[in-house]
Structures are given as structure tokens and as C-alpha cells.
Structure 1
Amino acid sequence: MDHLSSAARIRGGIVRLNRRLRQERGAGSLPPAQLEVLGHLHRQGSATPGEVAAALRQRPQSLTRVFAELEADGLVAREAGTVDRRRSVLSVTAPGRLALERDMAERDAWLARALASLSPTERGVLELAAELMERVADTETPG
């Protein structure tokens, strides 16, 4: 199997699993865009709106409403930057962390039940694949 065919097969599996994980989110879960911003801030720490947008490969203007909604709901806090007071810095609040953890817990519970049907070897292969997918996701490609 060549690299292109392999890539298409892996992408297809990721897309299908991602779709299923989205379906397993409970009622009242955060919208995907809010979840993505919260997840980024949780993993990477405080950041300016521009830094968050760049990391998510979006334009800052595209996320303005998302930032405002998260702030209005008390899930993120916005403070003046320490270096440049005109630039705001976003950080996850305690309620934001709880909302994110609750959302992840619902999907993790479904995935744990699904993984229980696999052999220990198969689960080990998926754990290795998860590590490799993280590395691939962090790969910078020219162009």
C-alpha cells in the first residue's frame, strides 16, 4: 500500500471515529468551536486571541463571537497583557475547566466501553497509534 492510500485509509478512520465521538456528547454540551478554544487554552495555557486563532488555523475575527460567549458564560477570563496592556490574554476559569472535563468524560466513557470489546493487544496498538497521531499532528510541513 502506498503512502497516499495509507493516508486516505487513516484519515477515513479518524473522521469516522471523530464523528462518533461527537455523537456521544451529551445534551447541553458546549458547541464544537467553544470546545476547541477551551481545549486549546487548557492544554497550552493562557494566550492572546490571535495566538489561539493561529493555533486553531482560524482568523481572529472568526473566533470573536466564540471568545465573547465563553467570557460571558464565565468559562474564560480576559485580562490585559503584562507586556502590552492593549492586548488581552485569555485563560480558562475553574468553571471552564469543569465544563471541558465533563464534556471529555462523556466521550471517554463511551470510548472505554468500546475499547473493552478489544483484546489487550488491540488496545495497545491503538495506544501506540494515538501517540503516533499526536506526533503526526505536530509535524510542520513545508509549503
Structure 2
Amino acid sequence: MHPESDVVSPVSADPELADLARQVREGVGRLNWRMRAERDPSGPGPAVLAVLSRLYRAGTHTPSELAAAERLQPQSLTRILAWVTERELVTRTPDPDDGRRSLIRITPAGLAVLREYSIQRERWLAAAMESTLSPTERQLLRLASELMMRVADA
């Protein structure tokens, strides 16, 4: 049904490495999905948390920088910024270099919301690891997490 030209090129010449890449991608994806599902449904949504996280990690941004960095449509970002500004999770100040632009900065209240979200996820993760992993498996997971960070930084 698929002509040969539609065949996807192999991930790696090494089939074991290709299989490992798939397993790691699936494991990280499923874990990420599950941890996001553990958030308080009455709290901020994923897009709000992504914006707050970006501001925390990368510092002050203009709205257009935030939209580009988070791959958000300007209309979506406008709604998010209104929501977080109303709750004093961010501040908007005029850009001293260009008064037509504003600078968005996370506030201590925004940091508190972000930290609470992280704590909720870490609490679930710690409980899941405690109930499903042996001490040896936990040690292996610690090593694997260090290796994944090295790969991510490569």
C-alpha cells in the first residue's frame, strides 16, 4: 500500500539504539503526561504554567518573545497574560527601550503557583516510586535520570 519512497528512514543504523530511543521517548512521554494529569484541575492550565515556567527559567520577556518561545498565537497569549496579570502572577511594565512594548516578569506569587504545581507532581511521583520500585530500582532510576539530563544537555 505504501510505495518504497514513503518508507521512513531508520532512526539509527544500530537497531538496539533505535529501540532504546523509542522506549525512552515513550517512557518520558507517558511519565510527563501522567504528571501533568496529577495537577489540580481548578488551578492554572498547562499554557499558563508553561508561560510562568518560561518566565522563571529565562527571565523577563516581551509578549511577542513569549508567544514565539511557547508557540502560542497572539490571541491565546493575550488571554493568558490577562489571566496571570489579574491574579498578580506577573507584572507588565513599559519597555524602557521601546515604550510601545511591555516587559513581562514573574512575581513572587507566580513563583509560588509554579512551585506548588511542581510539589504536587513531585509528591505523586515520590509516592508512585515508593509503591512500585525496589530500593535497587530507585538507584537505577537515579542513574537513569542523571543520564537523561546529560543527553538533554548534549
Q: What is the TM-score of this pair, normalised by structure 2?
A: 0.75
Coordinate RMSD, CA, aligned: 2.3
- What is the count of residue pairs matched by the alignment? 139
Equivalent of 1:58 in 65, 72, 84: 72
| SS of the residue 2:114 aligns to | helix
Q: Give the whole-Å Cα distance in 1 for the aligned partners of 2:54 and 2:27.
A: 23
* Identity among equivalent pairs (%): 46
Q: Which has the higher contact order (CA 8 A, sep 6+)?
A: 1
Hey, what's the Cα distance between the residues in 1 that align with 2:111 and 2:93?
17
- Rg comparison, structure with higher value: 2
Structure 1 residues 18 and 85, CA gap change in structure 2 (3 angstroms): same
1:111 corresponds in structure 2 to 125
Task: Name structure 2 gaps, 5 residues minimum.
Answer: 1-14
Q: Distance in 1 between matches of 2:66 and 2:111?
A: 17
**11 and 35 in structure 1: CA distance in 2 versus 1, 3 angstrom threshold:** same
Which of 52, 55, 64 is the equivalent residue of 1:41? 55
- Measured after TM superposition, the shift of residue 37 of structure 1 is 0.5
Q: Which residue of structure 2 aligns with residue 86 of structure 1?
A: 100
Q: TM-score, normalised by structure 1?
A: 0.79
Distance 1:50 1:128, change over 3 A: farther
Unaligned runs of 5+ in 1: none
| 1:76 alignment partner in structure 2 | 90
Q: Which residue of 2 aligns with 1:10?
A: 24
**Secondary structure at 2:53 match in 1:** helix
- 3-state SS of the aligned residue for 1:47? coil
Q: Distance in 1 between matches of 2:86 and 2:127?
A: 35
State the 1:131 CA deviation. Answer: 4.4
Partner of 2:37: 23
